[in-house]
Structure 1
Amino acid sequence: MTGETTLALDRPLLLVGCGKMGGAMLDGWLARGLVPARTYVVEPAGAPALSARGVHVVAGLAELPADLDPAAVIVAVKPQTMDKVLPALAPLAGARTLVLSIAAGKRIALFEAALGAGVPVVRAMPNTPAAVGRGMTVLVAGAAAGPAERDLAGRLCAAVGATGWVDDEGLIDVVTALSGGGPAYVFLLIETLAKAGAAAGLDPALAMRLARETVIGSGELARLSPEPADQLRRNVTSPAGTTERALNVLMAADGLQPLFDRAIAAAAARSRELAG
């Protein structure tokens, strides 16, 4: 975790789009020192809860102060609305304003074409555990984003969890498949474990509780332990015991690894298709 991350910015911050992910990030920023009175949020739906945070809330970009000079513009709108949003953002974008996109499937080249090649653009792929401060975000920087812009983008994303960087934007499709969709796979694991327990005779409610708590506890153990995942697995596995018998099925030639290989490849391929 990056709980020591601070966000005392010398210029305002602008968040465009405040859905679940944008809202989670906003809460993380405010918790780490972002000044509400210097924070602007564009959210057509509006929300009393946003105003209650002390930030400035407007329904559209045209309602922002004419002299607004943000340190960063975070674009958190739905990908299908990007074509309308980017032209309106152009007057706010410049060489000294970071543009951080968390819009899935939209390449850096799209932003550079609409805003100018000299605008520092960073693309980020967070995941939904950001809502509880346990997200994983991977970032990639455009050519105009220097060390200062990369540092700011990293601090903004670190406010809701862990961060990592890639140099090749094409790898964001794999990141999308692995960590972007990963929470759904973990939730499916909980469902599957519970159903298997119920099929073996457990009360369904108890089976679900066992599955949820086992995944939660195992994740926390993996987070806190210095040992890698394969060693943690071995620690649970007694020779010729019950866990080994189950792992012989899960780790067979037609077990989990080839299944996940195909799943991640399929999701990455779809990500590339959506990006065009």
Structure 2
Amino acid sequence: DESESVSLPFDFPFYGVISDSITISSNGWISFQTTWTTFFRNWTIPSALGPYGTVAAYWDDLIGPNEEDMRICYYYDQEENLFVIEWNNCVNRFDNASVEKFEIVLYDPDFYPTNDGNGEIQINYQTVNNPDANNNYATVGIENFDQTDGVLYTFANIYPASATELQNGLAIKFTTDPPDSYTLSENEAINSDENISISNYPNPFRNSTSISFNFSDKFADKAKINIYNIKGQKVKTFSIGENGNAKLVTWNGKDEKGKSVSAGVYLYRLEAKNQKSELKKCILLKK
């Protein structure tokens, strides 16, 4: 169990506090405070137990394989303006066999600005097993400096209903930017008495999902379903035209150019005659 402090190539705002260095722990987390602690025992978030100002990519008791040294790397990608911390050859002490390979990516806020100025963070998992250790499994999330607030992705193998379980190839991004640039007002939303409905199944999905809709004939002219990525950028449009009630379209996870979009959360809604339904969420899983 070791921790090491390193300087950052750029100032990074985290929960409103600007840091120019981080502490990297062998146990799958970083802290934006200088600390000698290693905290091999993981807890939930937020909690008074554990490091302060934390990004927990895979907080658990990690060791090197076959009692060898663990390889933890960090580097600055000057072309992409990213700082990457990688846990390259770790195994879980619980069984001394389960390999875990993952990384934390810090985005330079000068090149990746957010609405409130806080920096963006992404966790990428190449190999993840997450074996059970005293029913804790691993902790994934972020926590503020006084341990009173945080965003918990998983602890004790419990996830939010809309979250994907830890798996190979998964990426989790923490950002303070809203999911899209659109705001629905009461005047925009279609009144419920018009019998407007829209939903998709299956959700989450891997290959395709069917979006079913039902709306009054008065909205049939030039009706369409728009699909947006998490940044609010339109990726696909289905023109409905004069289709009647209880119809559906099938989205195969490709954009207007026929290119497969990346796995993640997407938003969709029905738009017709300057009216817009509520935004719905669908989740495309990695194939």
TM-score greater than 0.5 by the shorter chain: no
| Structure with more strand by fraction | 2
Could you tell me the TM-score, scaled by structure 1's length? 0.31
- Report which structure shows greater RCO (CA 8 Å, sep ≥6): 1
Could you tell me the TM-score, scaled by structure 2's length? 0.30
